[in-house]
Amino acid sequence: MKEVEGFSASAGLPYHGHSGATRPCEEAVLEALQREARIIKARILTCGNHHGLLLVDEYEDLLIVKPGFASGYSGEGPSGFSKSLAMLSAHNAQIDEVDLTPAQYERLELSALTKTDVDAILSMRAVRISQYQDYVRRSDWEDANKGRLWSHYPVRLPLAVIAPGLRDLVIEFDERPAFALQTGYARLEDRLRALTGMNHSGAKLIEAAFSPKSPLLIMKDRRDRGEQAGLEFLFRGALQLHRNPHAHSEIARSLGDAVSEFLLINHLFRILDRVVLAPPEIDETEQYRDV
């Protein structure tokens, strides 16, 4: 590595993205916005028409996005910069801008900002406070206002909410989403058969499990006729609308549609974690409360 003055006093900040490469920096911004700690401030680090970002989260932890962004011409650098700023703005991050010296910018490129550099950057008076909007293209503002900007996020399953009975399918999903979905539906019916002791399938299994007239399964601590009917309709609709067509033929679906459908199966699995056997001694008139 090139010798840089002050390198030994590095601030030890996390750096994301690559200098001169826009896409990794854009992905770094998207990743930061999906973390548990909310990004509340973004300071644009500018030297000429090159830009990096200093992100600050709600716990005042700092994260550097290296200078892979650019401005002043048409191309990938300005385009990615525009989308990233529009996304930060849509997430209500406070955005401003400071000018770095050439020496500070060099250390930024080398992931070697010193503690002195960082203190100086944080204490600098912002320049062009509202003019950062000039970096954002009209189409990106429109996408943000119409809720389309989030399509730039990578399509991924949220692992933290996946039901235990489906977690192994997450690995399969990346390579074979259709297989993961079909297997998920099969496991859903297997789970219902195990809970009810019935050997039915499809609509008959759903009716036996959840029919408000004489259900085998009810939600724990909830006895409402309308909710029980909704439970039956939810499971019946998922199988009839989604599972049945795919069981008879191969249907093309986008990755986004596949993720949405897998999350539907996951939701049904999580519901089954909260059902109990209906008391057999309670008849239909006593089983529910009227609301």
pLDDT digits (tens, 9 = 90+) for 141-179: 889 888 888 887 778 888 889 999 999 999 889 889 999
* Second-level CATH architecture of 7-152: 3-Layer(aba) Sandwich (3.40)
Supply the pTM of this predicted model. 0.73
Mean pLDDT rounded to a whole number for the chain: 88
Distance in angstroms (rounded) separating the CA atoms of residues 179 and 253: 13
Give me the residue spans of the domains in the chain.
7-152, 159-287
Backbone angles phi, psi at 200, to 5 degrees: -75, 175
Q: How confident is the model at residue 291 (pLDDT cuts 50, 70, 90)?
A: very low
- Report yes or no: 4 and 106 within 8 Å, Cβ to Cβ: yes
Structure confidence at residue 7 (pLDDT): 38
Structure confidence at residue 250 (pLDDT): 63
Lowest mean pLDDT among 8-17, 72-81, 99-108: 8-17
Distance in angstroms (rounded) separating the CA atoms of residues 98 and 82: 17
Kindly compute the dihedral angle of the four CA atoms of residues 92, 130, 61, 104, in this order, to the nearest 10 degrees: 150
From the CB of residue 156, how many other CB atoms can be counted at a distance below 10 Å? Answer: 12
